[in-house]
């Protein structure tokens, strides 16, 4: 008889890559038996970055389907069932359409490439694709927030790019996430979050600035996630192991899920180093029967000190992976949430299958 209560550890496969993995995402596939990945690599020996699509076999081996060389390293990567968006450290954005194409030909040519001083100067901190839509929002260290329309067929160039805001470097953004077709959230220094509404242009409609630590340390937001069923709540992860949720309805009271900047004994501090990515984890069923909309759903995080874990409000965190090196990015397969993939600092990929 199986022991209930104790979750079984996931099956872990580590696949060495001999190249640095900048970012990794599952690529939604039409067939349930096929699994595809899109990976941003950086080959230090030749100094060339590449964006690749691989198929993942059941024996956990990767085989290359399509590849493309971006002008510089990929800083942020997002996938929807029909689009792939990749931003670079040199400030360019490249979008590829996957709809109605064989995966072998996806990276033949970008559907849209936006480059130049009018777009972003310096690294793009984050991009996000609207779920089911065709708008891509990008934010950068230069403080610009840009919107790129992709769907327009045969429409290349800069004409479909619109500046939402220009911070002129007075502020830098490091992460962005759509909340609804007209709203998105950006994150930056000082654990700052900004809520933007395209219907009210000019500036952010709501701002959050950490106020829980009266000390002198603060941090940077590295990643933001918003659950489609709770669009008023924004989940953010950043420096010093900090993971918190910001509910628009109670803007002054963030819910801290993990972190060292708090004296709250109820909060479990999982890691003291930077949380690189956060995603809601739809695989984990909430342990509590309390399903009110103010309760934060379970979320997965990866950190600089090599931890991949699921955290939940008021619960003991569940550690899935503890590596001797940093886990820089991860992704949960939205079609089969038991599958998780993450990129490790030491030039390899780890594939987890949860029981």
Partner 1 sequence: MPRVASGSGGGGASDSITGALVPFLPDSQDAVVYPLGHGLKPPISRVSISWARGNTLRVSVFRSSPAESDSDEDVGGKVMEVRPGGNVDGQLSDAQWRRIAYGSVSPFALLQSRRNSALSVSKMGLSPSPYHLEWWEYVSEYSKDVSSLLGNPKSSAGPVIEDPKEVLKKVEEPTCLKAAWDLMEMFYADKLSQAWLPERLVDWLADYDSLLSDTQATVYLKLMEFQGLLVTLLVIEDDSRYWEVISSALAVGWLEIAVKMLRLHGSYQLDQLGSRETENGLVEAVAVLISKMPRLRPELGAGKLGECFKTKPDFMKAWERWRAQVTKLESSAFWLQCDHLQTREGLKNMLQIMLGNASILSTATCNWMELYISHILYIRPFTVGLESMYSLAQKCIQLKPMTIPHKLMRLIVGILGENTEVILAECSRDFGTWMAAHAIEFLTAGSDQAEVLLHEERDNLGGINIEELHRLIYAQVLSSHILTWQIAPIYLMSCMKQGMGLLEILLYRQPVQHNQLLVKNLEICRLYELDSVSSNIMKIAGVYHWKHGRKGYGVFWLQQARDEVCLNRIAQQLFNSVGKSISDESFKQWEGLIELLGSESKPSGGLEFLHKYRDFKRSLKQVNDGKITDATQQAVESLMSLMKNTSTPQRFWLPILYDSLKLLNWQERPLLNVSQTNLLLNKLQELSMARLHPDFIEADLPPQALSSVRLALATNLGRAILEES
166 vs 264 by CB, closer to partner 1: 166
The nearest distance, CB 168 to partner 1, in angstroms, is 6
CA distances (Å), origin 349, targets 29, 64, 239: 20, 14, 23
- Site for partner 1 (CB under 8 A): which residue of 28, 81, 151, 190? 190
Contact range with partner 1 by CB under 8 A, out of 104-112, 114-122, 147-155, 292-300 = 114-122
Residue 254 binds partner 1 (CB under 8 A): no
Size of the site for partner 1 (CB under 8 A): 57
**By C-beta, is 8 or 252 nearer to partner 1?**
252
Which residues between 71 and 90 bind partner 1 (CB under 8 A)?
Answer: 89
Residue from 169, 288, 290, 316 touching partner 1 (CB under 8 A): that is 169
Q: Does 59 bind partner 1 (CB under 8 A)?
A: no
Contact 252, 211 (CB under 8 A): yes
C-alpha 138: how far from chain center: 13
Q: Residue 143 Cβ, how far from partner 1 at the closest point, in Å?
A: 7
Encoded one letter per residue, x for contact with partner 1 by CB under 8 A and - for no contact, window 258-297 reads: --------------xxx-----------------------
Please tell me the distance from the alpha carbon of residue 157 to that of residue 323, in angstroms, as a whole number.
Answer: 43
> Per CB under 8 A, does 172 bind partner 1?
yes
Closer Cβ to partner 1, 113 or 313, answer by number:
113
Residues from 11 through 50 that contact partner 1 (CB under 8 A): 16, 18-20, 44-45, 47
* Residues of span 204-223 touching partner 1 by CB under 8 A: 204, 207, 209, 211, 214-218, 220
Distance CA 18, CA 280 (A): 30
Q: How many CB atoms lie within 10 A of CB 121?
A: 15
Q: Which of 183, 277, 305, 312 touches partner 1 by CB under 8 A?
A: 305
The Cα 129–Cα 85 span in angstroms is 7
> Could you tell me if 24 and 342 are in contact, meaning their C-beta atoms sit under 8 angstroms apart?
yes
Cβ closer to partner 1: 120 or 354?
Answer: 120
Q: Which of 304, 312, 331, 339 binds partner 1 (CB under 8 A)?
A: 304
Q: Tokens for 135, please give them.
A: 């708008």
Closer residue to partner 1 (CB): 194 or 333: 194
Provide the minimum distance between the beta carbon of 281 and partner 1 in the complex, in angstroms, as a whole number.
Answer: 24
Query: How far, in Å, CA of 312 to CA of 250, rounded?
Result: 19
In the complex, what is the shortest distance from the CB of residue 248 to partner 1, in angstroms, rounded to a whole number?
17
Q: According to CB under 8 A, which one of 70, 123, 187, 261 is a site residue for partner 1?
A: 123
CA-CA distance, 175 to 126, in Å (whole number)? Answer: 5
Provide the binding-site residues for partner 1, judged by CB under 8 A: 16, 18-20, 44-45, 47, 89, 115-118, 121-123, 125, 141-143, 166-172, 174, 188-190, 192, 194, 202-204, 207, 209, 211, 214-218, 220, 239, 272-274, 304-305, 324-326, 328, 345-347
């Amino acid at each position: 008889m199986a022991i209930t209560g104790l979750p079984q550890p996931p099956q872990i496969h580590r696949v060495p890559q001999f190249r640095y993995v900048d970012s990794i995402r599952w690529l939604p596939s039409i067939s349930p038996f096929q699994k595809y990945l899109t990976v941003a690599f950086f080959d230090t020996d030749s100094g060339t970055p590449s964006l690749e699509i691989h198929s993942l076999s059941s024996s956990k081996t990767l085989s290359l389907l399509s590849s493309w060389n971006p002008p510089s390293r990929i800083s942020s990567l997002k996938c929807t069932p029909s689009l792939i968006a990749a931003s670079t450290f040199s400030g360019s954005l490249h979008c590829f359409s996957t709809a109605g194409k064989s995966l072998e030909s996806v990276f033949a040519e970008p559907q849209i490439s936006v480059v130049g001083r009018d777009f972003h100067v310096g690294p793009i901190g984050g991009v996000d694709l609207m779920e089911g839509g065709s708008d891509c929002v990008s934010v950068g260290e230069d403080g610009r927030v840009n919107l790129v329309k992709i769907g327009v067929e045969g429409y290349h160039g800069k004409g479909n790019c619109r500046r939402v805001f220009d911070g002129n470097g007075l502020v830098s953004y490091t992460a962005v996430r759509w909340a609804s077709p007209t709203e998105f959230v950006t994150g930056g220094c000082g654990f700052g979050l900004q809520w933007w509404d395209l219907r009210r242009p000019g500036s952010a409609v709501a701002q959050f600035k950490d106020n829980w630590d009266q000390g002198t340390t603060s941090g940077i937001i590295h990643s933001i996630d918003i659950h489609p069923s709770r669009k008023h709540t924004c989940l953010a992860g950043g420096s010093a192991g900090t993971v918190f949720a910001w509910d628009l309805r109670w803007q002054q009271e963030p819910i801290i899920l993990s972190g060292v900047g708090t004296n709250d004994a109820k909060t479990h501090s999982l890691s003291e180093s930077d949380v690189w990515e956060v995603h809601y984890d739809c695989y984990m069923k909430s342990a509590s029967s309390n399903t009110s909309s103010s309760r934060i759903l379970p979320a997965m995080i990866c950190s600089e000190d090599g931890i991949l874990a699921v955290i939940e409000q008021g619960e003991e965190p569940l550690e899935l992976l503890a590596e001797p090196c940093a886990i820089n990015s991860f992704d949960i397969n939205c079609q089969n949430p038991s599958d998780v993939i993450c990129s490790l600092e030491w030039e390899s990929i780890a594939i987890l299958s949860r029981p």
